[in-house]
Chains A and B, each alone.
Chain A
Amino acid sequence: MAQPVYVGLDMGASRTKVAVIDRHGALLGHAVKKSGIDFAATAALCLDDSLQQAGASRSDIVDAVATGYGRNNVAFVTDKCKTEIGCHAKGCHFSFTGAITIIDIGGQDNKIIKIDAEGRRDSFKMNRKCAAGTGAFLEEMSARLDIPLEEMNNLARQATETIKLGSYCTVFSATEVLENIRHGKPVADIIKGIFYSMIQRVLEMDSLTEKVVLSGGVVAHNPYLVEMAAELIGRPVLLPEFPQFTGAHGAALYALEAANAVLVSEKDI
């Protein structure tokens, strides 16, 4: 029999992420897919992929916790839920010591979470209904520019200037982008401006403590955005090994706790 495993399912609005961990909290397997319209089916695919990567099967699951918008749609795995705020905090605390501010840029929302050295939450903020600064904003701009999402990072890096977008509103921002295209501005500069706008929208949500950790799919796939964030914040920022899986990892750590197992922090291993 394979070793017992603990599972976290992060059912995001945009992507579903699953993390499988061992009894020490170490990541054994992970998978991500577009959430689509059938949360349960997507979760099942991600679960099986991540279990396979971990060399385990469903019968090896000791406990599981779900998080994210679709957290109540995976009853076939677990009925235990935690919020994504809690899971991102848990996942980041596992990887970094001391008090930290976590900036999670997700597909549909952003979060700024402050935790103390013991991993307890001091405060958190989510963006309002507005999509400014979220992955949805990036997806909208990608569609408007007809440039695949995965190409935006490299294009932004080639920019020589930053085209500033002044608006909060995604629709108004798109209009600004089109206006810049009409004026013949280089696409790379526009994309850099889009990245800049995203970071600005996130940073204006809350104040930051000394140590800042970025998480979420957007930063996982856009390392240039991370560099820009560090530049705007004025100091280096920290990144977990798998930023897109921080929430799923945190959920798995909750599952581990729930199973009353011994948690040995990564930093102590």
Chain B
Amino acid sequence: MAQAQQPQRKKIESTGQMMKIMSDYFYDLNDAAKSETRKVAWCTSVGPAELLRAMGFAVHFPENHAAMLGATRMATELIPEANTIGYSPDICSYLTADIGAYLKKVSPLSKAYPGIDAPPRPDVLVYNTNQCRDVQDWFSWYARELKVPCIGITSPKNFTDVTEILIDDVTRQIEALIPTLEEISGQKLDLQRLRETVALSRECTELWRQVLETATAAPAPLTFFDGTIHMGPAVVLRGTRQAVDYYQQLLEELRQRMADKVGAVDNEKYRIYWEGMPVWGRLRQHSELFADLQASVLVSTYCSSWIFPDFDAEDPIRSMAKAYLGLFIVRSDTYKEQYIKAMLEKFHIDGIIYHDAKTCPCNSNSRYGMPQRLEQETGIPSLVISGDLNDLRCVSDEQTRTNVEAFIEQLEERK
């Protein structure tokens, strides 16, 4: 494709506020770990964070730390450390990067937040396998290494409908966590506090949905690449007032962009759906690659996965179970295809990019014929790019560039 002039990267003004609340969050975690009285829980990103927060735990999300390792391009050098102790290069590169960082005693936190050396030492590790089995393996390694309890939810998988039987199952599993957590935290679960936390999570998730849905506008005021950064509070501060306040501010800014017809990409010509994980170490390059081609990657399954409409303060534990089961990644292809089809229509999509992440089969939906089926049903062309979320040894920049440019050429021919 002809090389256009360098695109303007439009800075989201609210980013400064996001950086501040994220900074406050990490320093608070660090303080909690040093405190005699506070307890720290590690939680998977769609684990029972509401329960942990309501019980007074400071909550660390290793996936967030692993994504930071990817985004800072530290991961690729750390993954081999985990490989050498038996964790294959073919398994989750969040897991291998994070364990590698622990073994090498390095962390991106120490560069970003002076005074913080490493993630906070946990008092308990709490997983939910709704994302994959790897999170359990990941936490189990730390449990052995740090000699702390590791408990969690073994989620049903590959179902189409979230049925009452499944909700019963996960509800009971969440309830079964409570005695152990009460023992570790030294306090009884306060149901009213849990209701308040779930209500805040519900509010956060609703605002996050509205933020992402601003991209239904043409031109779209934010991209997937912006979303991967601004989803931080929705992941690590779910259930807090700070996250709610932040998304109110961000939403206001994006609505103003909509009113002013300001697109995240100059002269938006193509509207792209991203299916799968981001390549964390290539966020900027990918953002520029698409912007150069006047293509706005404006919506994704990934960022939308932190929308949980089922949280209900009136029935907190059961609604948590329902919300965690509603997650895209844990559902059947039948559900996933219905979901993506609805998104394609809602966001007026011209083409889909599937990122086939080498080490993340659960987030790589191109391996069981989905692109072909969806293309046949919707007529919307798709492209599969090979890569990885964290392991840049699995990424070929030139292959990606050629594929993406050729895909946009293809869309151009069809316009």
Contact = CB atoms under 8 A, between A and B. Distances in A.
Contacts of B2: 79-81
B1 interface: yes
Contacts of B377: none
Interface residues of B, number: 20
Given A123-B381, A126-B403, A85 B386 contact: no
A126 B409 contact: no
B146 interface: no
Interface string A214-241: 0000000000000000000000000000
B358 to A, nearest CB: 9
Contacts of A86: 406, 409
Interface stretch (B216-224, B236-244, B394-402): B394-402
Contacts of A24: none
B405 interface: yes
Given A123-B381, A129-B396, A83 B402 contact: yes
Interface residues on A, range: 20 to 34
A27 B181 CA distance: 76
Nearest to B2: A80
A72 B403 contact: no
A69 B375 CA distance: 29
Given A81-B3, A83-B1, A86-B409, A120 B414 contact: yes
Interface in B369-415: 375, 381, 384, 386, 394, 396, 398-399, 402-403, 405-407, 409-410, 413-414
B386 A129 contact: yes
Interface string A239-250: 000000000000
Interface string B172-216: 000000000000000000000000000000000000000000000
A211 interface: no
B377 to A, nearest CB: 15
Contact of A83 (B375, B406, B413): B406
Nearest to A67: B402
Contacts of A80: 2
Contacts of A83: 1, 402, 405-406, 409
Interface string A56-100: 000000000000010010000001111111100000000000000
Interface string B355-379: 0000000000000000000010000
A123 B381 CA distance: 7
Contacts, number: 48
B399 A82 contact: no
B399 A126 contact: yes
A183 interface: no
A121 interface: yes
A164 B410 CA distance: 37
Contacts of A72: 3
Nearest to B413: A120
A82 B402 contact: no
A84 B407 CA distance: 12
B413 A79 contact: no
A109 interface: yes
Interface in B144-187: none
Contact of B399 (A109, A121, A122, A124): A109
Contacts of B405: 83
A182 interface: no
Contacts of A125: 384
A94 B403 CA distance: 23
B406 to A, nearest CB: 4
Contacts of B413: 120-121
A126 B402 contact: yes
Contact of B406 (A124, A128, A129): A124
Contacts of B399: 109, 126, 128-129
A116 to B, nearest CB: 10
A79 B396 contact: no
Contact of A121 (B1, B384, B394, B410): B410
Interface in B1-15: 1-3
A125 B356 CA distance: 13
Contacts of B410: 120-121, 123-124
B332 to A, nearest CB: 25
B409 A85 contact: yes
B139 to A, nearest CB: 31
Contacts of A128: 386, 399
A121 B375 CA distance: 14
Given A72-B3, A83-B405, 12 more contacts: A79-B2, A80-B2, A81-B1, A81-B3, A82-B1, A83-B406, A85-B402, A86-B409, A122-B381, A123-B410, A128-B399, A129-B394
11 contacts: A69-B398, A72-B3, A82-B1, A85-B402, A85-B406, A86-B406, A121-B406, A123-B381, A124-B407, A126-B399, A126-B402
By Cβ-Cβ distance, the 7 closest A-B pairs, closest first, are A85-B406, A83-B406, A121-B410, A120-B413, A128-B386, A86-B409, A83-B405
Interface of A: 69, 72, 79-86, 109, 120-126, 128-129
